[in-house]
Amino acid sequence: MITGIIMTEYGFLYTALAGSTIVALVGAMIGYFLVLRNQTFAGHALSHIGFAGATGAVLVGLSPFWGLIAFSGIAGVLMGALGEKLAGRDIAIGMILSLSLGLGLLFLHFYTAFATQLTALLFGNVLGIDPAMLMPLALIATFTLAALALLSRPLIFASLQPELAEARGVSLRGISMLFLGLSGLAIALCAQIVGMLLVFTLLIGPAAAAQRLTIRIVPGLVLSVIFALAMCWGGIGLAVLTDWPTSFCITALSALIYGFSLFKN
């Protein structure tokens, strides 16, 4: 009976911990390679493209989550197809980012009833995750991690030695398309925890700190996952204790972890 009471009163907390664990694993893994490949700004742009997808989906009567998944994933593949044309083009990526936000605002103009959910969409609400969302999150996360594992060897080769990889027959454009497509899925998952505007925190923060502490890939991936889990679990704990926004707590821990990594000799 006591267990039933606890589950009834704190079930939202178990759901938040489960959802954040799933997302942290994917975000840490994908984020590590985004940092390694110097594509962090492209990842940030994908989150804003997802915003247009989420608001557009609501406009046609679909779930914002599936609109976010579709737009982020497709946009990632298209950005990857641009290959070197997009590399280092901050202005082009910035224009894509701005246009996506503008489209999102246009869709909201036509469907003002969705405006009340805008704060959760932009800044996240991990404590409000619907338990029914855990299964889709887990399935998409499993697919993303499995695909990343299959792609990992050519991805590492193309990231560290692109000229040699291309000479050996590795398709740099194909690798980029697949990876940024997976990045779009990971970004859509991370947005469920910290929102679209703060995706950078969960996706890049742990990976950037890990790569400052070690240049070895496997230990770096492990550290990135540990940092991401610490941020999510710690952020939820702080939010429950202080009643502060969970996304702020996660963001603060991300900044703290990265700040400590700067003191490495």
**What is the per-residue pLDDT across 34-78, written as a single tens digit (0 to 9) for each?**
999 988 877 878 887 888 888 888 878 888 888 889 888 888 888
In this predicted structure, the answer to whether residue 232 has a pLDDT above a threshold of 90 is yes
The pLDDT, as a whole number, for residue 117 is: 67
- Whether 37 maps to a domain, the answer reads yes
- Whether 204 maps to a domain, the answer reads no
Contact partners, residue 90, CB within 8 Å, separation at least 6: 41
In this predicted structure, the answer to whether residue 234 has a pLDDT above a threshold of 90 is yes
- Whether 48 maps to a domain, the answer reads yes
What's the mean pLDDT in 244-253?
90
Among the listed ranges 69-83, 95-109, 118-132, 133-147, which one has the minimum average pLDDT value? 95-109
- Whether 38 maps to a domain, the answer reads yes
Task: Say how many domains are in the chain.
Answer: 1
- Whether 223 maps to a domain, the answer reads no
- What is the percent of the chain where pLDDT is above 70? 86
- Whether 154 maps to a domain, the answer reads yes
Determine the structural domain holding residue 150 and report its residue range: 16-197
- Whether 22 maps to a domain, the answer reads yes
User: Which pTM was predicted?
Assistant: 0.87
- Whether 215 maps to a domain, the answer reads no
Among the listed ranges 162-171, 210-219, 226-235, which one has the minimum average pLDDT value? 162-171
